[in-house]
């Protein structure tokens, strides 16, 4: 998914922001809801606990970069629960875009084109795997006669 150099770039970047991840997640959700008000009702009214969960998951993803199979299993499960929560494949591009913006703003001059490319590849893996995990759940109900 990422080569060693790319994984190292992503790890180093996250080391710099490890203490800011909950704040970054809060800014992410605020911007996501501003840009796509239609997804707001999918989330609980109090977004506080969710910001902590996202921060935790981002930390996990970055820590598991070298354990591709384990990471993939966790993401398949997360994607499965997301399909039930109402997340649609099209939402993943928007989530990725907003998350990348907030990370890039926070890291400022540390956000290099190389880091951007490595992060983009990681995000593509995360989104594709979650979508794959959710796809198993799609059930075509028989049309009523
Ligand atoms: C980068 C991809 C994503 C990651 C890493 C991620 C991560 C998470 C995590 C860790 C949770 C908490 C799950 C739990 O409580 O068991 C969660 C919940 C949720 N996510 Fe995501 N998510 C992603 C993409 C999306 C997308 C594309 C949507 C679609 C709008 C979405 C909508 C939701 C909703 C509605 C909840 C439940 C919130 C609540 O309980 O209030 N997520 N997400």
The CATH number covering residue 67 comes to: 1.10.490.10
121 found inside a domain: yes
56 pLDDT higher than 90: yes
141 found inside a domain: no
Q: Are 79 and 129 in contact (CB under 8 A)?
A: yes
What is the per-residue pLDDT for 136?
Answer: 73
Give the closest residue (by CA) to ligand 1 atom 38.
Answer: 43
Joined tokens for residue 19: 């203490």
Taking the mean position of all CA atoms in its chain, how far away is CA 113? 20
- Number of domains, the chain: 1
What per-residue string of b and e applies to 86-119 under the rule 16 or more CB within 10 Å gives b? ebeeebbeebbebbbebbeebbeeebeeebeebb
1 pLDDT higher than 70: yes
Joined tokens for residue 88: 């649609």
What is the per-residue pLDDT for 143?
Answer: 66
Distance, CA of 70 to CA of 103 (rounded, Å): 25
Task: Tell me, in angstroms, the distance from the centre of ligand 1 to residue 82's CA.
Answer: 6
What is the per-residue pLDDT for 115?
Answer: 98
Pick from 122, 140, 141, 124: which is nearest to 132 by CA?
124
85 found inside a domain: yes
Mean pLDDT of 57-71: 97
145 found inside a domain: no
Joined tokens for residue 67: 């354990």
What is the per-residue pLDDT for 145?
Answer: 53
29 found inside a domain: yes
113 pLDDT higher than 80: yes
Domain housing 94: 4-135
Residue for token pair 């990422």: 2
Q: Which atom of ligand 1 lies at the shortest distance from residue 39's CA? A: 30
Q: Which atom of ligand 1 lies at the shortest distance from residue 130's CA? A: 2
């Amino acid at each position: 998914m990422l080569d060693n150099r790319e994984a190292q770039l992503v790890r180093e970047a996250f080391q710099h922001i490890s203490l800011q991840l909950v704040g970054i997640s809060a800014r992410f959700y605020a911007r996501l809801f501003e840009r796509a008000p239609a997804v707001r009702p999918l989330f609980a009214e109090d977004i506080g606990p969710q910001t902590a969960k996202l921060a935790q998951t981002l930390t996990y993803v970055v820590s598991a970069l070298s354990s591709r199979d384990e990471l993939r299993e966790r993401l398949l499960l997360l994607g499965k629960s997301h399909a039930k929560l109402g997340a649609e494949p099209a939402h993943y591009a928007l989530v990725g875009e907003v998350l990348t913006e907030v990370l890039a703003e926070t890291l400022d001059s540390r956000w290099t084109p190389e880091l951007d490319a490595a992060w983009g590849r990681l995000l593509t893996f995360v989104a594709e795997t979650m979508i794959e995990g959710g796809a198993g759940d799609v059930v075509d109900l028989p049309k009523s006669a």
